[in-house]
């Protein structure tokens, strides 16, 4: 059964398996102890740290191991905000960050801090100039490398509570694969004296993150390492106050006994996958291109989303009009293909993906295909062969639950109480019978309608006039 959900987790890399088994025999002791077994464990931990730091592009004493990528992100955000509280209480994030970063931002707001959210274009990418415009002066010596960055200008001390303490930007999006302009944003942050935290979970296995970033977090299960290992790098010169009670482990930034065998396996596999990255990318990118090109021709009313050029080599996301994403996931699973639908972090909820919402694209009928490194052309062809029937079966299972009535101002579709994509389906049924220039009002109380109706208008070339409460107005073009 082909597994096409590598963006969520990848199978254990052979190097990781070998390192894990070896470390289970050699790395069980406490690396903080001075006896022979402890010294052996400390040597393994130090070697793993050096290997991971080289892969990240930082110094070994700048990198700590955390229990997960989410923990690393939470610790990175909280530690930088606390360490730079004199610079200000403003946090800048993109609208498409991983939910771990957005949850940390919400917690910061709840505690009285300020959060600025940078919009993205329809491909899911931030504009460096828009990101830079939301920064506020900070202490330049604390950003990007601080005292280790020669020639870095210093801003005036004491910028006040309105100053930006931290900015966050992912290296590549988890849902659509769009690669962000991290190097440009990092330069803007350094000029403003604001440290930049990069979520590199999706991209680190493909290579180092460029630019003068200040903090970086990643997760081993994304590149073929074992689950339960995260990385947090904090550059020298960045003011950082570890959150929570201090602990002697990992400099207080990740308290608790280290999972040494998993750490050794994570570091070894990271080095291995980066060494293989160029060859794997050259092999997977044409397979993803095949899916991107085939889906719109094989599936009527389908749209491939995400930046078409600046993207990860193994990931493609598309949305199918008039289909439920979760039902489509189950249909494809029944056909033998494991994919994900909607947001990888919110698929268990009834709210639309925050990433797709920020991009202004369709959220229903959304499928993310992320190919593991061993994927073959035959497996991709087999997926494309079953996809049209899977979509057709899901579309055919939907039952209407709305009524339409002509009024003096046009046509009103009452879809209250129905879930998307039904409001969009009912809109599509009546729009062709409405004279050009007339207005269709759709009454819908499903949260996803606020994203899907404007996105449908964008795809179909109709004019979205806006919404008042549960009434969405569309002018036929």
pLDDT in tens, the chain (477 residues): 799 999 999 999 999 999 999 999 988 898 989 999 999 999 999 999 999 999 999 999 999 999 999 999 999 999 999 999 999 999 999 999 999 999 999 999 999 999 999 999 999 999 999 999 999 765 444 444 443 333 333 333 344 567 999 999 999 999 999 999 999 999 999 999 999 999 999 999 999 999 999 999 999 999 999 999 999 999 999 999 988 777 777 777 777 788 999 999 999 999 999 999 999 999 999 999 999 999 999 999 999 999 999 999 999 999 998 988 888 999 999 999 999 976 433 444 456 789 999 998 988 889 999 999 999 999 999 999 999 999 999 998 876 555 666 666 679 999 999 888 888 988 988 898 889 999 999 999 988 888 889 989 988 899 999 999 999 999 999
CATH code of the domain made up of 403-475? 3.30.110.40
Q: What are phi and psi of 313, to 5 degrees?
A: -75, -15
Return the structure tokens found at 403: 């009524």
Q: 120 and 359 in contact (C-beta within 8 Å)?
A: yes
The DSSP code sequence of 212-239 is --SEEEEEGGGTTS-SS-EEEEE-TT--
pLDDT at 159: 44
pLDDT at 469: 94
pLDDT at 54: 98
pTM value is: 0.87
pLDDT at 6: 96
The DSSP code sequence of 406-438 is EETTEEEEE-TTPPTTHHHHHHHHHHTTSPTT-
Catalytic residue of the set 168, 345, 420, 457 = 345
Q: Does domain 14-272 have CATH number 3.40.50.720?
A: no
Q: Is the dihedral of CA 14, 18, 253, 145 positive or negative?
A: negative
Q: Residue 72: which of 221, 293, 208, 271 has the closest Cα?
A: 221
Query: 258-292 in b/e burial notation, b at 16+ Cβ within 10 A?
Result: bbbbbbbbbbbbbbbbbebbeebbebbeebbebbb
Is 345 among the catalytic positions?
A: yes
pLDDT at 155: 39
CATH code of the domain made up of 276-397? 3.90.1150.10
pLDDT at 364: 81
Report the distance separating Cα 89 and Cα 101, nearest Å: 16
Q: Residue 210: which of 256, 179, 241 has the closest Cα?
A: 179
The helix or strand, by DSSP H or E, that contains position 264, with its residue range, turns out to be helix 260-298
- Domain ranges for the chain: 14-272, 276-397, 403-475
Q: Residue 398: which of 330, 324, 301, 320 has the closest Cα?
A: 324
| Other CB atoms within 10 A of residue 385 CB | 11
Q: Residue 170: which of 280, 266, 52, 77 has the closest Cα?
A: 77
pLDDT at 403: 63
Query: 229-250 in b/e burial notation, b at 16+ Cβ within 10 A?
Result: bbbbbbbebbbbebbeeeeebb
């Amino acid at each position: 059964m082909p597994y096409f959900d590598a963006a969520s987790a990848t199978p254990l890399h052979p190097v990781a398996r070998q390192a894990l088994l070896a470390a289970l025999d050699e790395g069980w002791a406490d690396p903080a102890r001075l006896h022979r077994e402890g010294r052996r464990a400390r040597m393994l931990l130090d070697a793993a740290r050096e290997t991971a730091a080289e892969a990240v592009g930082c110094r070994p004493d700048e990198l700590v191991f955390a229990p997960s990528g989410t923990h690393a992100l939470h610790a990175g955000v909280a530690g930088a905000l606390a360490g730079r509280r004199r610079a200000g209480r403003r946090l800048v994030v993109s609208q498409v960050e991983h939910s771990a970063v957005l949850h940390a931002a919400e917690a910061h707001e709840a505690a009285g801090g300020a959060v600025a959210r940078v919009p993205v274009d329809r491909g899911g990418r931030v504009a460096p100039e828009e990101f830079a415009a939301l920064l506020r002066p900070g202490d330049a010596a604390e950003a990007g490398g601080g005292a280790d960055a020669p020639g870095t200008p210093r801003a005036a001390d004491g910028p006040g509570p309105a100053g930006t303490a931290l900015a966050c930007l992912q290296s590549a999006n988890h849902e659509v694969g769009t690669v962000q302009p991290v190097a440009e944003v990092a330069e803007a942050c350094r000029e403003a004296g604001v440290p930049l935290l990069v979520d590199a979970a999706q991209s680190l296995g493909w290579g180092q993150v460029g630019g003068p970033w200040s903090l970086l977090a990643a997760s081993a299960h994304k590149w073929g390492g074992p689950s339960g290992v995260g990385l947090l790098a904090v550059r020298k010169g960045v003011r950082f106050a570890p959150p929570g009670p201090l602990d002697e482990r990992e400099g207080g930034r990740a308290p608790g006994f280290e999972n040494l065998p998993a750490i050794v396996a994570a570091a070894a596999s990271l080095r291995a996958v980066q060494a293989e990255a160029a060859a794997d990318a050259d092999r997977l990118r044409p397979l993803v291109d095949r899916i991107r090109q085939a889906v719109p021709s094989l599936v009527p009313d389908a749209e491939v989303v995400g930046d078409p050029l600046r993207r990860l080599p193994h990931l493609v996301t598309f949305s199918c009009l008039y289909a439920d994403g979760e039902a489509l996931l189950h249909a494809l699973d029944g056909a033998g293909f494991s994919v994900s639908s909607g947001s990888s972090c919110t698929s268990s909820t009834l709210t639309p993906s925050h990433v797709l919402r920020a991009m202004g694209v369709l959220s229903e009928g959304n499928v993310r295909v992320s190919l593991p490194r061993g994927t073959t052309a035959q497996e991709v062809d087999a997926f494309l062969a079953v996809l049209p029937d899977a979509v057709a079966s899901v579309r055919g299972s939907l039952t209407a639950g709305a009524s339409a009535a002509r009024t003096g101002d046009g046509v009103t579709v009452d879809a209250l109480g129905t879930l998307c994509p039904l409001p969009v389906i009912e809109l599509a049924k009546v729009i062709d019978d409405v004279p050009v220039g007339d207005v269709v009002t759709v009454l819908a109380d499903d949260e996803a309608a606020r994203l899907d109706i404007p996105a449908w208008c964008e795809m179909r070339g109709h004019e979205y006039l806006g919404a008042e409460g549960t009434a969405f107005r569309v002018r036929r073009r």
